[in-house]
Structure formats: C-alpha cells, structure tokens
Amino acid sequence: MTGRVLIVDDENAMRLALKALLGKEGYEVETAASGEEAIGRIQPGSFHLIITDLSMRGVTGMQVLEHARRVDTDCAVIMITAYGSEKIAVQAMKLGAVDYLPKPFDNDEVRVVVRRVMETGQLRREHRRLLEQVQGDFGFEHIVGRSPAMGHMFDTIAKVADTDITVLIRGESGTGKELVANALHYRSPRRGKAMVKMNCAALSRELVESELFGHERGAFTGAVTRREGKFEAADGGTLFLDEVGDMPLETQAKFLRALQEREIERVGGNQSLKVDVRVLAATNQDLEGAVRAGRFREDLYYRLRVVELAIPPLAERREDIPLLIDRFLRHAAERFNRPIKTLTPAAMRACVEHEWKGNVRELRSAVEQALLLAPGAEIEVGDLPHVAPAATRLAAQAAAPGAGTAANASTVSFRDAKAAVVESFERDFLVTALRRHAGNISKAAEEIGMYRQNLQQKLRELGISAEEIGTADE
C-alpha cells in the first residue's frame, strides 16, 4: 500500500506504535506531537490521511479535523477517541471525519480501517481525474462564452437537446463543434447510453460503410469476423458524425435510408436491424458548394440540417477570449498541479487582438503551454510565441532565423507529450479496474462510475481487450 499519512498524538508511545505499524504496511508516515504542529504541516496535497487523537492539550483533534477539511478536502481524517465517547465520534464524522478508532484498538483494526480509507480515497481521485479526462469538457457548463453569438447557441442547444432532432453543427476547425455535440448528448434523455463518434474524413467507401453499418463475415477481403457498426453501438444513444461532408457519395444514400427508416443492414448481410439512434453531424466544409458540385446529396443535406448550429470563428467573438483564457488557466493549473498564473495586460491585449486561425483549440494550447513554461508568475507576451505581434515576431525571426519554426515545434511536441501522458494514465487505470473484475466490463464500469457503453468505446479507442485481461488473470 502507498500513501502519505500524518499521525497526530501528544502521547509518545501511541505515535510511535502507529508509525511503526503503518510504516510496515508501506505507507510514508510522518508524526506530529501536537495539534499546533499538525496544523503547521497540513498543506493542500501534503497528506492522504491524517489520524489524530481527539483529546490533546492545546489544539484538539476536532480543530485539526476542521483545519484539514478546510485546507484539503481530499485528505481523509480518522479520529482516535476514548473508550465510550461515541457521541463525540459521531460529531467528528459530521464534521467530515471518514471514520474513528475507539481506544483501545488492535493492530488489525487499524490496518483494515486505514486500508479501506486509502483505497476509497485513491479510487475517488482516480475516478475524478478519469471523468475529467475521458468525459473532458462535456456538459453545458463547460462551454464558455458570453458573446451574443454564443448566447444564441446556448438557447438553441437548450431548445433542441432533449429532442431526437438531427443537428448539423458547423464551424471552423477548433471552434468547439465536438464540445457542442457532447453538450447535446449529455443534456438529452439519451445521456445514459453511448455517445458514439465517427470521423468520415479520409476513409474509403468500404471502410466508412463497414464502420457505420458493421459487416458480416466474408463481406469483403479482410472481413474475417462479423463486426458491429457504429449505428448498432449507438443504439439508444447518439451517433456523432464528424466531417460529414467527407462521406463518400455512394454511402450517403445508404446513410439517408438508415436515418429515415431507422434500420440498417450490415455490409454483406441481408437482414435489416432496427436501430434507435439520434444523429448529430459536424462539418467545417461548404456543404452548399458540395451540393452544387454534386459531391453531397441534396436530400441528405436537408435531412441533416433540420436544425443548424453555426459556431462563429473566435475572431468574430473576441469578447469571449478573456473568459476562455481564465477557464483554461484554471483548468490547466489544476490538471498539471501548478500554481495559477495571470496574463499581463499587454499579453491579454495581444491575445484579444490575435487572429486565432486555429480558434479555441489554438488558444487553449497557447495558454496551457504558457502556464507550464513561463518563468514568472505572470505570463508575458513573449511567453505566447504565436501571439506576439507580427512585428515583434518578424524582428525576432530576422535576428534568429528558424526561431519561429522552433516555437511551432515545441507546441506540437508539448501537445503530443500531454496526449501520451493522458492516454497512458487512462490505459493503466482502465486495465487495473478490469483486472479487479476479471475483465467484466459491466462491473468495472460500475465501480468507476462510467456507463458501460462509454467504457466499451474507450477500450476500443485504446485498443484494450477486456477478454484478454480476463483470461490472463485466471
């Protein structure tokens, strides 16, 4: 077992005995001989667990408990109480203690209680992180914006989210189309079922169709087993088709039929399957142009854009930029466990004036990068390499050829590194959860508080086979 524990007791013998016992279990144990000393040591994140005696001279266990709850809500507190003082124990639990140990207790009791508390805490932290990262910025609250254009969008989202209406989400790259799709799904009665995503770009017709509708064994070369398509996977839930403008023309007819009839046929199959799926689609293309050019079916175009949500480019709603910066700074500080920073007025002005060709996504990575890399407590214009006014940038480039490209390269590698860290964390977390349940997806999903379908989708994305995990452990 791992974890940092603080033992607070003014009785020497008790402190040492607990330290020896828990140290042997593998915890990192520190001790404090008084409540005052303990309070001086409790900082956010410094301990996972505090075991404190209730009655001490000076600052009492109750005060230590209150202080710990205020400073670090993640830190669990166990109260040691005297024999027969259940009333006080109850009061301690009301104030947020996770458990109490009535004296006299034996070693086994301590081991069991501590282990349970630590496991729960660890699970809760992992769960929270996973939710943040897997579900990311789902929900409505996470879409930032107070410009009239965004206000109008929120209204429309609120009006159509709880219907089965097909929504076409339009906007340049990085404007938040996926975020809006998530909000629509998570605010719909389908939120308990899967949100299945599919990107139509750069896939051959054969692949798009087998992805969408699944295929029977032997449907085409390489189709060695039967495969479920995204439509089936999204049954009861939502199917989000990204880059819908890239769907091959031949596939569009089949897709339209699936939308209208609410049934599909697997590739190479001859029986129709009923599906109950709400479709959301996104594109950053000129679909009207594609219709005129004969690359996109007009009937499908009208069928998709029953409701259209157009997200304006960031440069057309600059009043949202400071809000977004604030959100991303807070979020990144928490996620990377770094102190929060602010922008100097000049840096803020430069951000508000910048063109942001990559829209919100570009803004987000610039801000996150600056939070991590800026040397001071304030982020200056120079810490935002893409944002520095063109003149400064050109001058810098003239002075040091290649400087501009170096800045670009560092953004890319930072983003890749971050994605890799997140992915490996997710992988470890999910594999461990599956092992605990011998590969049983439903049970693992229940434990970590995810919907089974979402977990399944996540496993597919990460290429994790629950079956293999189940059998490997036997």
Beta strands 167-170 and 76-81 are unpaired
Nearer residue to ligand ATP within complex by CB, 53 or 243: 243
Name the one range near Mg ion by CB under 5 A: 160-168, 173-181, 284-292, 328-336.
Answer: 173-181
Question: Residue 23: helix, strand or coil by DSSP?
Answer: helix
x/- map, 283-322, ligand ATP, by CB under 6 A: -x--------------------------------------
The separation between the first and the last C-alpha atoms of the chain, rounded to the nearest angstrom, is 23
Peptide bond into 102 cis (omega under 30): no
Q: Which stretches within 262-344 are classed as H helix?
A: 287-292, 298-304, 321-336
Kind and range of the H or E run holding 169: strand 167-170
* Residue 284 binding target from ligand ATP, Mg ion, none, CB below 5 to 8 Å by type: ligand ATP
| Among positions 42, 78, 118, 143, the unique one binding ligand ATP when judged by CB under 6 A | 143
Nearer residue to Mg ion within complex by CB, 81 or 175: 175
- Contact criterion met (CB below 8 Å) for 64 and 8: yes
Q: What part of residues 37-96 is at the interface with ligand ATP (CB under 6 A)?
A: none
Running DSSP on this structure, what letter comes out for residue 72? -
Name the one range near ligand ATP by CB under 6 A: 37-45, 76-84, 357-365, 408-416.
Answer: 357-365
Q: What part of residues 179-208 is at the interface with ligand ATP (CB under 6 A)?
A: 179
Q: Which two tokens stand for residue 157?
A: 């989202």
Question: Residue 161: helix, strand or coil by DSSP?
Answer: coil
To the nearest whole angstrom, how small is the minimum distance from the Cβ of residue 395 to ligand ATP?
31
Q: What part of residues 154-173 is at the interface with ligand ATP (CB under 6 A)?
A: 171, 173
Name the one range near ligand ATP by CB under 6 A: 33-41, 137-145, 252-260, 435-443.
Answer: 137-145
Give the whole-angstrom CA distance, residue 469 versus residue 404. 46
Nearer residue to Mg ion within complex by CB, 41 or 361: 361
Distances (CA, A) of 403 to 47, 399, 406, 408: 43, 9, 5, 9
* Residue 332 binding target from ligand ATP, Mg ion, none, CB below 5 to 8 Å by type: none
Nearer residue to ligand ATP within complex by CB, 229 or 245: 245
Nearer residue to ligand ATP within complex by CB, 7 or 332: 332
Q: Let me know how long the chain is.
A: 474
Q: Is 175 in the site for ligand ATP (CB under 6 A)?
A: yes
To the nearest whole angstrom, how small is the minimum distance from the Cβ of residue 177 to Mg ion?
5
Give the whole-angstrom CA distance, residue 463 versus residue 461. 5
Give the whole-angstrom CA distance, residue 194 versus residue 298. 29
Footprint of Mg ion on this chain (CB under 5 A)? Answer: 178
Footprint of ligand ATP on this chain (CB under 6 A)? Answer: 137, 142-145, 171, 173-179, 284, 324, 327, 360-361, 364
